[in-house]
Structure 1
């Protein structure tokens, strides 16, 4: 039999293998039953999701109403509705009081719940959405329902009373037991991945455990010890510590020697690791923003992991000869057979390639998470540096141009949106990094690593081999230009270097113009790659503008951050808060004991009012304190000027305004 007849017989066998009758010849007969056996059925816990919300929502509403009746609005606004009950404030964002861990825990519960509900078929309890159109309306209603549902959990802590702590214990225990009970009874769910619901609920359970432990501790402390006076809080407060640190004597500066390699490495690592600093605290908004961004990284990374890895493992385990033959025909899997028929070696190679895809995806996800987390830590360090500079009045060093630190509607809106923006930018940054790094790792694996292992598909190495003269020409031209600039065109003098051999310089510039065009093309490609990677890596950082200084206004994230800093410094300057506390102390006949830190806003109002009659010594002390505060807080000058137009201040009558 001739070789042509043998090839024809092989081709006929291959065609018969791909015929309709033999399409599932390699498929095991019991695979369908195994799939059904491994499928996760719907689980119905003892406490259904709807029943849980039907019980907890009225309880939360009743607790909120009781606390509102007990806490008079008269404590905050004396002239508002004559002390009528009002809605409790969830968090004093502009004050350094309370436990930040509790506030972060409640925000973590809210954010994690919303992340889980985005993919639910029925995002809103009590309403079962059947169509996609009604489901979108349910998601919008859920964005309003869940903040109100978890509102009493944080309002109980702001009351700072044993009744609030008792209600906080009741709510946190009920929420915690309900969530844990549901996950213990139904750890698996058919949504996306059998353990996705359990893994995505871990942050919610941990935050609820923190609240379940914190509220009982505070309740026991309220019974064991008396209420602390404001004087004691003031002595140990953040504002006094800040003033002590600012007014303390500075140690003598060390000799300005050139730092070594080890010290440079340590300073570089410190720029990515936030360490607490004496006399300074990161504002609550920044702590919340970074924490919510970390939770966003966890939720997005978990979703990407459970979406890709289990599916690619199913594909790898279900790889058959038919699929391998298709990959061989497209040239994606190399074969040693002359007629292109797949064998056991080709099947193992195809499974190895799919395993390499899985490794590339996991590697890109780990690198993306680590980079995003490190950028968030670096931004936290930069936040502290920027706030300290603005506290000192160094506005130009932060914004690169003069700015007025005063209130504006845009600054207020940006301050409100800052935490949400940080979480959203972290999610988008992680998604973009995952896509780009996955493509890069796949390209590097299948163009470099796999060809080196197998010795086949050496396309990249063949391209580099064919273009070696081009690359050598570019390298030689760059080296020649640097050598000529170093040894021929610059003459070292006594003071500085001077230009020499100008005629030769002009000749070299003309002759190397074509080569410099090619070098410029490669430099432009490198510039594009570096710019893209830099923007992708720093996308989650709001304190870094991805555009130039002239186009910073078009960067929504950086613009939000700048306005946030203006609002935070103008309203929460530690020196200004300390001065307001001194005003409260001087105005109160019984001292500071009647005032709490939540009433610092009264100090701001007192600063605008004319001073009462007092002795010359007290007036001098008040004027010195006012002058020191206004010099270090230029943002307070507009308020003072507006008052001086028609009121007497510090014992002096201001000139009347012009008609």
Structure 2
């Protein structure tokens, strides 16, 4: 026995196996780097996350306290230490005077940080290497930490003070410089995909750049003014413009044409209904703009996660496809083989790789279709939001809610108003995932049942089924066509008079004879109804302004119910006409008026501010006529008396103090 055989026997007896690299490696397998993902080493930036958060968190808290003291002293002056300083408001959601771009930027930073947090092993930067058992608890704590961390970024703008803009510059520059520096030093990470961390941080970096540019601009504007004067009441400019637009004289429209619009014009109007164009004198509420912006960021984050989780892995599988794996596909009939023995060759291997490449193309195509469809639905929602708000501003409640509702705040309405932006973002994420799954299944089915069989001439299973069932399809088509022809020519009497039934005996006979075939037609119609209903609900899942249920049970749709209550709060608390009326009252409080308001510039204000000495007999007669008209109205409308009585019994009713009733 040779020495080599002795060595082999010894290795086999000990259970150890020595393989030559050239024995198990095959050139057809592919390059090793193509089969296994590259191991990305851990990267440690110059400014670690733990150190950055340990420095920026106390700084943010100090800025918040300093701004709170500044606002308290500014509002109280002499008695600034009588009460504790209050927490600054992040943004006036029910006002139109705030900067919407700033609010969207801060909320974009917060939401993108939470998206990155979900897949992070260390949710809190202060707690490194957290165990899997306690990780969920730290994630809950992180849901409270990150909103508190980014709170001063938006509160600095609410103060509308030079010190607030200075603090905003400091915080935004610190966040922006550190995030950019960390991603420049460590662009790759081993999580999911080498560039996933960099791509997921792009919205955060872009929003921080916006803040880093906005605060310095506001600071420079404040220094250019000789004296820091008080700002006008938030939203006063918009409310005045809205009032001017409503009261503006409308040019009389020409006589409407009675001709039916052409197909091109109808198609153009339909496409324009999906495109939101700004309208003069009208602005969407801040909460709506914020919810739609967060929905767009959610689409980006979800699409990025789906893309990097599937495409790199399917590319590795395609690069590592071997003849042994192809033989498995051949045995199951997934890959056709021209070899009678079923042994795959180079052609079968190329076919298998082509099939896997087709899956990759289907995945990317369905993701693009889903994103575009979601963007179209969100744009359509903007148009519907404007239409619904304008109708409610005019008082047309039934045109929006389909039944009478009181536009007043309530506990449920206020809760829904607070949750609306979060609901819109969550519904958009879920809707995108569902749309992508359905679109991927449809594209894969079309590719492997229609496109590839027509291209290769094999696996014609679908066409064979349709070919074998042609008598069934022909019978259904003939039955449907025959019923329509008989109805058109035999069972309806045509003439100058309204249409009437005729040949009723033949109608009854045909109805009886075609009953079995109509059952089969009904089965197909039922399947089509189910498909259409499912597709409609899937496509409009992220659109909260419509209900996915019928009018009788629309209250069980949480998204639509939230949207309805959201509209009630917005209209009752932020009606532009109501705010414009309140601004006029603020203008007319004193002859000088508050800062920023000049009563002499308003004609109505001048008339209302006349003293008693200037009142003439004509005005007294006019006042008398108004009182008689009021009395006549109350006599002819008894239902208004309880409301009038309750208003008069309230304190300070009609500008007079109500006296208590003596018993």
- Structure 2-normalised TM-score? 0.87
Alpha-carbon spacing, 1:74–1:176, altered in 2? closer, same or farther (3 Å) = closer
- Please list, as runs of the form range in 1=range in 2, the aligned pairs for 1:350-365 lying within 5 A after superposition: 350-365=352-367
Show the counterpart of 1:325.
Answer: 327
C-alpha deviation, 1:53, in angstroms: 0.6
Cα distance in 2 for partners of 1:427, 1:379 equals: 16
Return the match for 2:528 from 526, 529, 533. Answer: 526
Show the counterpart of 2:603.
Answer: none
Alpha-carbon spacing, 1:344–1:638, altered in 2? closer, same or farther (3 Å) = farther
Indicate yes or no: 2:59 matched with 1:59. yes
Alpha-carbon spacing, 1:474–1:430, altered in 2? closer, same or farther (3 Å) = same
Show the counterpart of 1:650.
Answer: 654
- Please list, as runs of the form range in 1=range in 2, the aligned pairs for 1:393-542 lying within 5 A after superposition: 393-542=395-544
- Please list, as runs of the form range in 1=range in 2, the aligned pairs for 1:153-552 lying within 5 A after superposition: 153-226=153-226, 237-254=237-254, 255-257=256-258, 258-552=260-554
C-alpha deviation, 1:571, in angstroms: 0.3
Show the counterpart of 2:94.
Answer: 94
C-alpha deviation, 1:496, in angstroms: 2.1
Aligned residues: 613
C-alpha deviation, 1:592, in angstroms: 3.1
**Cα deviation code 1:172-195 (max 9, x no counterpart):** 111000000000000000000000
Q: Is contact 2:91–2:103 with CA below 8 Å preserved after alignment?
A: yes
Cα distance in 2 for partners of 1:458, 1:30 equals: 32
Q: Is contact 2:98–2:234 with CA below 8 Å preserved after alignment?
A: no
C-alpha deviation, 1:312, in angstroms: 0.2
Q: Is contact 1:73–1:86 with CA below 8 Å preserved after alignment?
A: no
**Cα deviation code 1:179-231 (max 9, x no counterpart):** 00000000000000000000000000000000101100100000112568779
Give the secondary structure class of the aligned counterpart of 1:237: helix
C-alpha deviation, 1:557, in angstroms: 0.3
- 579-588 vs 505-514, which deviates more? 579-588
Which stretches in structure 2 are left out of the alignment for 5+ residues?
A: 1-20, 599-607, 631-640
Alpha-carbon spacing, 1:78–1:99, altered in 2? closer, same or farther (3 Å) = farther
Q: Is contact 1:552–1:558 with CA below 8 Å preserved after alignment?
A: yes
C-alpha deviation, 1:491, in angstroms: 1.5
Show the counterpart of 2:146.
Answer: 146
C-alpha deviation, 1:27, in angstroms: 6.7
Q: Is contact 2:157–2:165 with CA below 8 Å preserved after alignment?
A: yes
- 147-156 vs 79-88, which deviates more? 79-88
C-alpha deviation, 1:73, in angstroms: 8.1
Q: Is contact 1:646–1:657 with CA below 8 Å preserved after alignment?
A: no
Q: Is contact 1:153–1:168 with CA below 8 Å preserved after alignment?
A: yes
Cα distance in 2 for partners of 1:78, 1:531 equals: 66
Alpha-carbon spacing, 1:34–1:378, altered in 2? closer, same or farther (3 Å) = closer
Give the secondary structure class of the aligned counterpart of 2:380: helix
- Structure 1-normalised TM-score? 0.87
Alpha-carbon spacing, 1:80–1:65, altered in 2? closer, same or farther (3 Å) = closer
Show the counterpart of 2:635.
Answer: none
**Cα deviation code 1:390-426 (max 9, x no counterpart):** 0000000000011110110000000000000000000
C-alpha deviation, 1:77, in angstroms: 14
Cα distance in 2 for partners of 1:435, 1:300 equals: 13
Cα distance in 1 for partners of 2:271, 2:185 equals: 45
**Cα deviation code 1:438-484 (max 9, x no counterpart):** 01111111000011011111000000000001001111111111111
Alpha-carbon spacing, 1:78–1:253, altered in 2? closer, same or farther (3 Å) = farther
Alpha-carbon spacing, 1:157–1:28, altered in 2? closer, same or farther (3 Å) = same
Cα distance in 1 for partners of 2:527, 2:76 equals: 60
Q: Is contact 1:73–1:84 with CA below 8 Å preserved after alignment?
A: no
C-alpha deviation, 1:251, in angstroms: 2.5
**Cα deviation code 1:258-296 (max 9, x no counterpart):** 222222122111111100000100000000000000000
Q: Is contact 1:230–1:595 with CA below 8 Å preserved after alignment?
A: no
Give the secondary structure class of the aligned counterpart of 1:72: helix
Cα distance in 2 for partners of 1:497, 1:241 equals: 55
C-alpha deviation, 1:485, in angstroms: 1.4
Alpha-carbon spacing, 1:647–1:480, altered in 2? closer, same or farther (3 Å) = same
Alpha-carbon spacing, 1:143–1:79, altered in 2? closer, same or farther (3 Å) = farther
Which stretches in structure 1 are left out of the alignment for 5+ residues?
A: 1-20, 597-610, 628-636
Give the secondary structure class of the aligned counterpart of 2:588: helix
* Higher Rg of the two aligned structures: 2
Cα distance in 1 for partners of 2:33, 2:231 equals: 74
Show the counterpart of 1:113.
Answer: 113
C-alpha deviation, 1:639, in angstroms: 11
Show the counterpart of 2:16.
Answer: none
Give the secondary structure class of the aligned counterpart of 2:493: strand
Cα distance in 2 for partners of 1:77, 1:418 equals: 38
Alpha-carbon spacing, 1:37–1:585, altered in 2? closer, same or farther (3 Å) = closer
